[in-house]
């Protein structure tokens, strides 16, 4: 009997879309007067993460992104940046279930 090669797992890691949204928004926080576009990007990232079924696996990071959306709508870009950095750090250190 021949040994077969294992099929690689090519699925993106949980929260990939959320991380992409954060990486798109973070550099633009300091130099924008119109936060509506940034809110749209983050909301889209949350929706895509939910649609992929990842939201339950990255619950705390998604909550931080939701908090950042609320802060952006309130005009507090500095606090939103802190929340997004927290979420980004959590997503980069995410360990999938074995």
- The answer to whether residue 22 sits within a structural domain is no
- The answer to whether residue 25 sits within a structural domain is no
Whether the Cβ atoms of residue 59 and residue 79 lie closer than 8 Å to each other: no
Report how far apart, in Å, the C-alpha atoms of 77 and of each of 33, 67, 73, 82, 95 are. Answer: 10, 11, 9, 9, 29
- The answer to whether residue 88 sits within a structural domain is yes
Return the pLDDT at 11: 59
- The answer to whether residue 49 sits within a structural domain is yes
| Domain, as residue range, for 61 | 34-92
- The answer to whether residue 98 sits within a structural domain is no
Tell me the torsion sign for CA atoms 58, 45, 17, 28: negative
Per-residue pLDDT reduced to its tens digit, 52-95 = 888 888 999 999 999 999 999 999 999 999 999 999 999 988 65
Structural tokens at position 32: 């924008």
- The answer to whether residue 21 sits within a structural domain is no
pTM of the predicted protein model: 0.82
- The answer to whether residue 79 sits within a structural domain is yes
As for how many domains the chain has, the answer is 1
Query: Which regions of the chain does DSSP assign to beta strands (E)?
Result: none
- The answer to whether residue 83 sits within a structural domain is yes
């Amino acid at each position: 009997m021949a040994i077969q090669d294992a099929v690689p797992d090519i699925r993106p890691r949980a929260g990939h879309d959320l991380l992409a949204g954060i990486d798109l928004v973070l550099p633009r926080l300091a130099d924008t007067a119109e936060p509506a576009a940034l809110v749209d990007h983050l909301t889209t990232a949350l929706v895509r993460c939910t649609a992929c079924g990842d939201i339950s696996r990255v619950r705390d990071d998604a909550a931080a992104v939701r908090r950042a959306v609320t802060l952006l709508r309130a005009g507090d870009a500095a606090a939103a940046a802190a929340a997004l950095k927290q979420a980004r750090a959590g997503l980069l250190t995410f360990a999938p279930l074995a």
